[in-house]
Amino acid sequence: MPLVFAEPPISLSTANALAVFFAGSYVGSLYLSKNARLSFKRGSIKPKQGQQRTKEQDERWRDDPDVIRARLAAASLSTLSSCVAVLGLVWKLLGWAPTAFPVAFETTLARLGFDVPASLSELVFPCLVTPVLFLGPLYGYWLSGALPLQRNWSWKLSVIPLLTTWQSVRNYMVGPTTEEIVFRSCSLAVYHLAGASRVKMIFMTPWLFGIAHIHHAWDIYNRYGRTGAAVKHAAIATLFQSSYTSLFGFHTAFLFLRTGSLIPPITAHIFCNIMGLPQLGTQLTMFPHRRRAIKVAYLLGIAGYIYAMNRWTLAPESLYWRPADAIAMF
């Protein structure tokens, strides 16, 4: 029988402070150690138009293997600290009693979405929502023969590079997992305890995720020569990335709240990182004889997404999508 609070046990200001702490500690951890920090030579260098400059000796760039390793370790520790903070908060709400710790631990696992969905359908269907949205890009890949088992696909060239480089470990494994734990489950857990509405949790909390990507501007500015053009390039790229990641955050926040599980948001994050942004214009240029079919596939993807988000995501046992306004803790 779940413990039900008649009123939210924490305030919205407390939830805001915790969410900022989660985001700030995650980004800040990337700059704490010397091995994780980036370093660039001073002075302006004018690279070829639209291209980043050549890396100089003794510089440390974002994609250097040793930088990636240090940052993955830092992000993982920061993620663990955020989870421990949520556990501490839940334990405090239960009175700090030693006998209450097992309940607090189990409660925290449930609130952070670490529980496995009750049925196979509740596990599989929410994970298929994002691929449905990408029906258009996937159709373009099919036309290119680049989908699994097609003529231009191979384990050696299409799969192994996604699993064996430090960039792939960051982009497709550790990055999506830690970011979804910190910016989705930890943040949404505290906002839910504060009694925030679903609308606020879906459409307000992801902005922190978008803002957290602004620090990439410094990297872009230096890689593109530290010139006026580099400032413009960094501003545009960062604004676009922050906006795109915020929109993506709306999507994964909805998935998390509807399912009560981290698995759909993490798989969606990995899938989107692999697919990249849709390239409608490029695909229309590459396959002019299939222009209408490509456009139809994109429209069907949007329609299918709207249908699937409503019908494929709701888990009856989701802690976050119950009709009652009270806060329940397992």
What average pLDDT is seen over the chain? Answer: 91
Nearest to 62 by CA among 158, 170, 147, 146: 170
Contact assessment for residue 104 and residue 87, using Cβ atoms and an 8 Å cutoff = yes
328 pLDDT band, cuts 50/70/90, is very low
Closest by Cα among 136, 107, 119 to 301: 136
Confidence (pLDDT) at 317: 81
Q: Check pLDDT > 60 for residue 3.
A: no
Least confident of 11-25, 153-167, 272-286: 153-167
pLDDT in tens, 153-181: 999 888 998 888 999 999 999 999 999 99
d(CA 167, CA 161): 9
Percent of the chain with pLDDT over 70: 95
From residue 261, alpha-carbon distances to 54, 79, 167, 231, 265 in Å are 43, 17, 26, 40, 8
User: What's the pLDDT at 48?
Assistant: 75
Is residue 244, in this structure, part of any structural domain at all? yes
The answer to whether position 227 is within a domain reads yes
For residue 147, being part of any structural domain is answered with: yes
Selected residue with higher pLDDT from 92 and 44: 92
pLDDT tens track for 191-212: 999 999 999 999 999 999 999 9
Domain that holds residue 271: 3-41+56-329
Q: For helices 216-223 and 228-259, what crossing angle results, to 10°?
A: 150
What is the average per-residue pLDDT within 256-284?
A: 95
Binning pLDDT at 50, 70 and 90, where does residue 287 land?
very high
Residue 174 in domain:
yes
Residue 181 burial (CB < 10 Å; 0-12/13-18/19+)? buried
Position 323 scores a pLDDT of 57
Q: What pLDDT is stored for residue 43 in this prediction?
A: 77
Q: With bands split at pLDDT 50, 70 and 90, how would you rate the model's confidence at 325?
A: very low
Residues ≥6 apart with Cβ < 8 Å to 105: 87
Domain assignment of residue 12, yes or no: yes
pLDDT for 5 equals 63
Quote the pTM value: 0.93
Tell me how far the alpha carbon of residue 97 is from its chain's centroid.
35
The 3-class SS string of 193-205 reads HCCCCHHHHHHCC
- How far apart are alpha carbons 22 and 231 in whole angstroms? 29
pLDDT attached to residue 321: 87
For 86-137, what is each residue's pLDDT tens digit? 999 999 999 999 999 999 999 999 999 998 887 888 899 999 999 999 999 9
Could you give the percent of the chain with pLDDT greater than 90?
Answer: 76
Scored b (16 or more CB within 10 A) or e, 259-285 reads bbbbbbbbbbbbbbbebeebeeeebbe
How many domains does one find in the chain?
1
Residue 239 maps to a domain: yes
Average pLDDT over every residue of 225-247? 91
Q: In this model, does residue 42 exceed pLDDT 90?
A: no
Is residue 48 in a domain? no
> For residues 209 and 42, which has the higher predicted lDDT (pLDDT)?
209
Evaluate whether residue 49 is within a structural domain: no
For residue 142, the tally of other CB atoms under 10 A from its CB is 12
In this prediction, residues 210-216 reach a mean pLDDT of 92
Phi–psi pair at 87, nearest 5 degrees: -60, -45
Q: φ and ψ at 5, to 5 degrees?
A: -95, 130
Give the torsion sign (CA, 276, 273, 263, 143): positive
